[in-house]
Structure 1
Amino acid sequence: MEYVRKDGVEVPKVGVGTWQMETQVAYESVSTALELGYRHVDTAQLYENEAGVGSAIADADVDRSEIFLTTKVNPAHRSVADIVESVRASLNRLEVDQVDLLLIHWPHPLADLPAVIDGLNECVRQGLTRFIGVSNFGVDRLKRAQNLSDVPIFTNQVLFHPWWPQRELLSYCQQEDVILTGYSPLANGGAIDDDLLAEIGRVYDKSGPQVAIRWATQHENVITIPMSTSREHLAENIDVFDFKLTRSEHDQITRPSYLKTGLSMVRGQIGV
């Protein structure tokens, strides 16, 4: 495993995502992931599976201190009091005293950003989370969140894959020492049948999806959270640190495409 080091902690570059997993499925997936060596788990209030994630962590033969656990606040919670109350409920479902990282899930159009950031800060002050961050923020909104926050913004969790490389945002995060956490690194399955990824993978005896994940993790200050319910794929997704893409291969893989990104988002919404 490789790590991103920030604020005195090491965060595994590959974690397990749990989006679209029902509670029992999340329990099984996270249990398998922890057994396979994952030590970074991502969930959210809106996923409605925190109880399954928490039970998996509680039942695992792994100390809680070894696991970097992230959850995300439902943006409907817009006041400091509502945010804190919702996070306490998350901790109860997760069966933990605090999470390692707490994010606002996305910017709510009716939310007052200062109040939201103050709510996240209050969760740090009360010991409910070690670090805070945001998700689905662009550069301008991220800058504003940084200026409003009393504690550093640890990460911005956003869509990040070869067809949506987020170059401007990535550059800003790297300059500001904000971790970019990439979700959907396989473009909701788009990486599975990609000819170029498969061709490069054959050089290293790896699959196309493994090449896509390695592409993500070779970026400075980037971690990624692929999602899978298959033991085989969970094992494959973490087995990406015994090879390194060349600069030329990395550049070939980076192919910004609104079309492919749009198609991948449609696949994700309909569960294809």
Structure 2
Amino acid sequence: MPPLELPLGLGTSGLDDPAECRDTVTAALEAGYRHVDTAQMYDNEVAVGEGIAAADVDRDDVTVATKVHPDNLAPEAVRETARESLDRLGLDRVDLLYVHWPTGAYDPDATLPAFDALRDEGVTDHVGVSNFTPALLREADRILDAPIAAHQVECHPRFQQPALRELAAEFDHRLVGYSPLARGDLFGDDAFVEIAERHDRPPAVLALGWALARDVTPIPKATGDHVAENLRAVNVEISEAALDAVDALERGERRLDPDDTAWNR
């Protein structure tokens, strides 16, 4: 299996309107995106699949990722619902299948071998995890036969995840950052906006460019003109001075912090 390519991607959490979701995915792929992220929890896999099918882009050039709902992490449910995700997406496989949250029915010794089996059966090319703590990540790495291809977590200039970035380098997997614009809060963040203005970069481009420069794959959600604007971060140079200024920002709080997460136990 070739290494997983994970360029800047389109996040689809919150794209609840089927027509808007479908059209956004199609527009993103035709603008140059080659990575689309969805989940059973988002209830939009059908629209994502329709958007992929409608785009004038070769399917094999697109990394498609989805995630198994926490309630579906018992072994038989993993196997059944992963195939249901393929049916909704209209695909014969996904490139990347994640454990969405290590909560609910998650039992590492039972759940993770089911992901190995799906990889062996060709349902997914790669296995990933999401919202794991360092301890849970090490445990998953020990149990899985498949290498962990990606770990998806909240990551942005005000929540930079240094420990998980170091572990990604240690384990040689991609750290994928959701909410890379801090759910839009960066646009009203005076200190961050000042850095962007001082270095003549739009705030979104600076945030996404910072992530890419720090070996994080951002997956911003966007619609309309923001889809193409976010993609600019791939080709716009961000100076070391600007990156260092972002690195030095005071750490903030998570934007997504449910009570039952692993880090709140």
Q: TM-score, normalised by structure 1?
A: 0.88
2:48 to 46, 53, 58: 53
* 1:36 equivalenced with 2:31 (yes/no): yes
* 1:247 equivalenced with 2:247 (yes/no): no
TM-aligned CA deviation for residue 7 of structure 1: 4.7
CA shift digits 1:144-193 (9 cap, x unpaired): 00000011010110000011111111111112111100000000011112
Give me the identity figure in percent. 37
Tell me the equivalent position of 1:121.
116
TM-aligned CA deviation for residue 204 of structure 1: 5.2
| Partners of 1:188 and 1:265 within 8 A in 2 | no
Residue 242 of structure 2 aligns to a residue whose secondary structure is helix
| Partners of 1:196 and 1:253 within 8 A in 2 | no
Within 1, Cα distance between the matches of 2:100 and 2:244?
30
Which of 71-80 and 105-114 deviates more?
A: 105-114
| Partners of 1:21 and 1:49 within 8 A in 2 | yes
| Partners of 1:210 and 1:237 within 8 A in 2 | yes
TM-aligned CA deviation for residue 194 of structure 1: 2.7
Within 2, Cα distance between the matches of 1:197 and 1:211?
9
Within 1, Cα distance between the matches of 2:185 and 2:40?
27
Distance 1:49 1:184, change over 3 A: same
Tell me the equivalent position of 2:137.
142
Within 2, Cα distance between the matches of 1:228 and 1:110?
31
Residue 248 of structure 1 aligns to a residue whose secondary structure is helix
TM-aligned CA deviation for residue 256 of structure 1: 4.1
Within 1, Cα distance between the matches of 2:158 and 2:212?
15
Residue 10 of structure 1 aligns to a residue whose secondary structure is coil
Within 2, Cα distance between the matches of 1:110 and 1:53?
26
Within 2, Cα distance between the matches of 1:139 and 1:80?
23
| Partners of 2:154 and 2:256 within 8 A in 1 | no
Matches within 5 A, 1:202-217: 202=197, 205-217=200-212
| Partners of 1:78 and 1:116 within 8 A in 2 | yes
Q: Which runs of 5+ in 1 are unaligned?
A: 1-5, 267-272
Residue 72 of structure 2 aligns to a residue whose secondary structure is coil
Tell me the equivalent position of 1:25.
20
1:227 to 221, 239, 254: 221
Within 1, Cα distance between the matches of 2:57 and 2:10?
15
1:155 to 112, 137, 150: 150
Within 2, Cα distance between the matches of 1:243 and 1:195?
22
TM-aligned CA deviation for residue 27 of structure 1: 0.7
| Partners of 2:25 and 2:48 within 8 A in 1 | yes
Within 2, Cα distance between the matches of 1:18 and 1:150?
29
TM-aligned CA deviation for residue 252 of structure 1: 1.7
Within 2, Cα distance between the matches of 1:78 and 1:215?
34
Residue 5 of structure 2 aligns to a residue whose secondary structure is strand
| Partners of 2:70 and 2:104 within 8 A in 1 | no
Matches within 5 A, 1:79-98: 79-98=74-93
Matches within 5 A, 1:164-183: 164-183=159-178
Within 2, Cα distance between the matches of 1:183 and 1:9?
18
What is the aligned residue count?
Answer: 255
Distance 1:265 1:111, change over 3 A: closer
| Partners of 1:101 and 1:133 within 8 A in 2 | yes
Aligned Cα root-mean-square deviation (Å): 1.8
Q: TM-score, normalised by structure 2?
A: 0.90
Matches within 5 A, 1:89-108: 89-108=84-103
Within 2, Cα distance between the matches of 1:81 and 1:124?
15
Tell me the equivalent position of 1:195.
190
* 1:68 equivalenced with 2:63 (yes/no): yes
| Partners of 1:165 and 1:256 within 8 A in 2 | no
TM-aligned CA deviation for residue 257 of structure 1: 2.7
TM-aligned CA deviation for residue 241 of structure 1: 3.0
Within 1, Cα distance between the matches of 2:197 and 2:245?
15
Within 2, Cα distance between the matches of 1:81 and 1:110?
11
TM-aligned CA deviation for residue 28 of structure 1: 1.6
Q: Which runs of 5+ in 2 are unaligned?
A: 258-265
